[in-house]
């Protein structure tokens, strides 16, 4: 029994640890977030998404209101009447008209074909609200993903620039030493110092850009502006270079795309609105039952109660002539439906072209990334080689600064190619609804 208790306690601690691991770590104004945690947190705290969820509930309520309009409606009434002592003379017979109270209950039910179509329209509106919510969630997650990756790329830029600055500072100190002993000229040290200063300015600018990215992320996550955010995912893992071919080669399922879904629901909505307009010329029927109870507020027995306690009835209404009003309404609704069908066709064609273009963009961005990566690696080796040659006096300061400028440009182009690749991938994932 003692062993079982220990086992249960151990399992409980393991489960608790797994549960805690799924939540972002926060301590003293710091957040440690993976990309998935950041996206989940943004979805949970975004006000626009909360409003979109409320739109779904509103559409659901409107749907049931439309259905309820076809069901029996019951109303109760109470009426008090006083004839101020008047008495009715009926051929010499006096009939008292005392005050009275009438209590009534009326149940009725009205049905027209258009009411059924309106209920279907309400259902379509609910579906559209649901699609809009999912589309909003997709936009929010893509914004978080873009900011998260931008921050990682900016940190990569700072890392590269920091290494270059360390190298230049070391070479500058070495050159100053050589100037002091008379083996080098001051101009060489000045050239390196100028490039190091320019590099420091680039680093400061990159840090400001990174802070702006973090501020945008804080806004999406709805956290305090002083909250420090630590990114736990790596750029290499999130880029998933090896999987890009699978994304490019994936078949485009248009029905998964939210833009197509909204266009399709708009087309269905236009069709139902045409049906509702046509049904407006159909007959309508109303049936009712009414129960009334009249109580005279007098002890005089000589009164006449002409109110029946129960009454049923039905009304059939048939439109006969509307001076072409209904015909023109149907014509306008039919033209609107044809217009929406054309828009649906344009949407499908546009999505097909967009898919082809985004696949091309991603493939091109991948090729550019590979080329710029190789170029940066070669330029880095050249810079390292020139640095060593400069240390041994085989290269000039001009060669060093020129190579350093070339390296910085290569690194900048390499980082830009990373962002282009990531943006192209996010755009294609959004289209495919991945």
- Answer whether residue 119 is part of any domain: yes
129 vs 52, which has greater pLDDT? 129
Looking at residue 300, its pLDDT comes to 64
Q: Write the pLDDT tens digit of every residue in 124-164.
A: 988 998 999 999 999 999 999 999 999 999 999 999 899 88
- Answer whether residue 61 is part of any domain: yes
C-alpha separations of 166 from 113, 175, 262, 417 in Å: 80, 14, 55, 25
pLDDT band at 9 (very low <50, low <70, confident <90, very high): very low
- Answer whether residue 228 is part of any domain: yes
Residues 126 and 148 in one domain: yes
Residues 290 and 167 in one domain: no
- Domain of residue 84 covers 76-110+286-318
Per mean pLDDT, which range of 32-36, 285-289, 426-430 is the poorest? 285-289
Residues 242 and 177 in one domain: yes
User: What value, to the nearest 5°, has the Cα angle with vertex 383 and ends 377 and 387?
Assistant: 145
Residues 273 and 416 in one domain: yes
Residues 395 and 307 in one domain: no
Q: Is the pTM of this model over 0.85?
A: no
Look up the CATH number of the domain holding residue 154. 1.20.1600.10
User: Domain total for the chain?
Assistant: 2
- Answer whether residue 9 is part of any domain: no
Looking at residue 179, its pLDDT comes to 84
Residues 304 and 347 in one domain: no
Q: What is the dihedral of CA 239, 245, 251, 257, to 10 degrees?
A: 20
Residues 382 and 363 in one domain: yes
The whole-number average pLDDT for the span 398-424 is 91
- Answer whether residue 227 is part of any domain: yes
Residues 190 and 270 in one domain: yes
Residues 180 and 219 in one domain: yes
- Answer whether residue 116 is part of any domain: yes
Render the burial of 211-220: b for 16+ CB within 10 Å, e for the rest: eebbebbbeb
Q: Write the pLDDT tens digit of every residue in 170-219.
A: 888 888 888 888 777 888 888 889 988 988 998 999 999 999 999 999 99
């Amino acid at each position: 029994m003692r062993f079982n208790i220990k086992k249960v306690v151990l399992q409980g601690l393991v489960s608790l640890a797994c549960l805690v691991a799924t939540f972002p770590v926060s301590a003293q104004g710091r957040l440690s977030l993976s990309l998935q945690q950041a996206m989940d947190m943004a979805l949970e705290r975004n006000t626009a998404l909360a409003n979109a969820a409320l739109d779904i509930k509103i559409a659901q309520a409107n749907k049931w209101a439309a259905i309820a309009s076809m069901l029996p409606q019951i109303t109760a009434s109470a009426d008090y009447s006083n004839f101020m002592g008047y008495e009715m003379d009926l051929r010499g017979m006096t009939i008292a008209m005392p005050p009275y109270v009438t209590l009534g209950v009326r149940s009725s039910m009205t049905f027209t074909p258009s009411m059924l179509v309106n209920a279907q329209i309400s259902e379509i509106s609910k579906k559209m609200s649901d699609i809009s919510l999912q589309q909003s969630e997709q936009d929010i997650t893509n914004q978080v993903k873009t900011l998260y990756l931008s921050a990682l790329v900016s940190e990569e830029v700072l890392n590269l620039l920091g290494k270059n600055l360390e190298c230049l500072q070391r070479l500058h100190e070495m050159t100053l030493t050589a100037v002091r002993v008379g083996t080098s000229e001051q101009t060489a040290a000045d050239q390196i110092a100028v490039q190091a200063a320019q590099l420091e300015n680039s680093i400061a600018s990159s840090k400001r850009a990174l802070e702006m990215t973090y501020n945008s992320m804080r806004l999406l996550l709805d956290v305090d502006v002083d909250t420090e955010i630590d990114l736990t995912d790596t750029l290499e893992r999130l880029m998933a270079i090896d999987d890009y071919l699978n994304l490019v080669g994936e078949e485009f399922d248009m029905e998964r795309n939210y833009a197509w879904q909204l266009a399709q629901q708009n087309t269905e909505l236009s069709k139902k609105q045409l049906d509702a307009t046509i049904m407006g010329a159909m007959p309508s029927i109303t049936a009712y039952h009414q129960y009334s109870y009249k109580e005279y507020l007098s002890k005089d027995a000589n009164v006449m109660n002409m109110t029946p306690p129960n009454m049923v009835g039905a009304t059939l209404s048939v439109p006969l002539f509307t001076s072409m009003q209904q015909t023109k309404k149907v014509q306008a609704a039919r033209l609107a439906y044809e217009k929406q069908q054309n828009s649906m066709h344009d949407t499908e064609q546009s999505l097909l072209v967009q898919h082809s273009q985004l696949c091309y963009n991603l493939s091109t961005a991948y090729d550019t990334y590979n080329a710029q990566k190789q170029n940066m690696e070669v330029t880095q080796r050249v810079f390292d080689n020139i640095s060593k040659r400069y240390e041994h006096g085989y290269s000039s300061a001009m060669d060093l600064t020129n190579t350093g400028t070339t390296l910085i440009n290569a690194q900048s182009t390499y980082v830009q190619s990373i962002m282009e690749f990531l943006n192209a991938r996010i755009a294609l994932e959004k289209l495919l609804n991945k």
